[in-house]
Structure 1
Amino acid sequence: MKTKYLIIVVALLALACSLASAYDPSPLQDFCVAVKDLASALFVNGKFFKDPKLALDNDFFFSGLNVLRDTLNPLGSNLIAVNVDNLVGLNNLGISLARVDFAPYGLIPPHIHPCGTRFLIVLEGTLYIGFVTSNGDGNLLFTKMLYPEDVFIFPIGLIHFQLNVGKTNAVTFVGLSSQNPGVITIANAVFGFDPKINLDVLAKAF
């Protein structure tokens, strides 16, 4: 009998852990338009939101993804994110998106999104892309050469990258399964911040 209850407890704990690590919460109503004026606002999912009866058409509208971004920087790439900060109607819907422009041989360096899976569709150019699985899965590398209208998925929390291997500009649109997926660029996180990680730690790790 004790074994039966132990199995039930373990199953419930596993369920609780899976729920605790789930993606953005399910919406509690049709929409929760984010608002900065707190005088008559409510609070949900990390943002204040307005009374749905006061929502406007423009709360669900963003313009500008057709504009070529400046890629004159060391990486040769530029990203414009569309998230709850500039499209307030996304609040509590669990998604965000971006446009990424690449100069020839431009790079989005290895990084992770700790809170969201990412999909990518190529509009122009030829990209070499890939991701690396976690330690438990053997750090396998999955790569692909992508061409216009190709789609690729980067699973949540895994290191991934994109490189324009063509001699012309490239453009992609990406979608993410979180309104705030976060981003950690590996090189910057390890080597680029103050206070710096102890050099003995870096020397032994690398």
Structure 2
Amino acid sequence: GSEVTMLTGFTQPARRVVVRAGVLAIDAGRDVLGTGHLLAALAEVDSTCLPLEALDLTPFAVLAEVEERGETDRRQPDGELLADLGIDLDEVRRRAFDATSLRSDDPVLWRLRRSRALPLRLTLTGPLGILRLNGQSRKVIEVAATTAHRRGDRTHIGCEDLLWGLLADSSNESVRILHRLGVDLRRFWTDLERWHAAA
């Protein structure tokens, strides 16, 4: 095939994080998945992630920062477009779930793919649309996979590995968001290193 499917290497919570980040980005009218939505999804889906739970970090605070100062490459969100036509997107999704018992954010319905022809291109594809991962979010996935591998676990990339990936590049959007929200990044990094040493 021309693509490599990647979500199969993630734990179930980590899959939910990646998919939820995609849903948040699509709902916000984005065609590209950045690290801000990954951070928001991590705070929402896995608030018990050891280094995160002490921060009292809410997905709403993260999303507010993403929308206020994040990337500007966005279109009008589908929900707003449909609302202009008198259609409630949440109601459409609820009825689809009632009819099929499948939720649009079910990780089973989503694929994270790397193109064999263009190995730097990662896309997240699901029932709500297709997103290209930007360079920073692609790096998060790659660092998370490398971190799990160093731990001796190639097939169980977890939420803490994703968090490690988010913090690995101090120039990415998620780190800037954490800084703006008053997170002590040095202490946060130390806590994460301690967790990894004990894992």
Q: Greater CA radius of gyration, 1 or 2?
A: 1
TM-score, normalised relative to structure 2: 0.26
Structure with more strand by fraction: 1
Q: Which has the higher contact order (CA 8 A, sep 6+)?
A: 2
TM-score, normalised relative to structure 1: 0.26
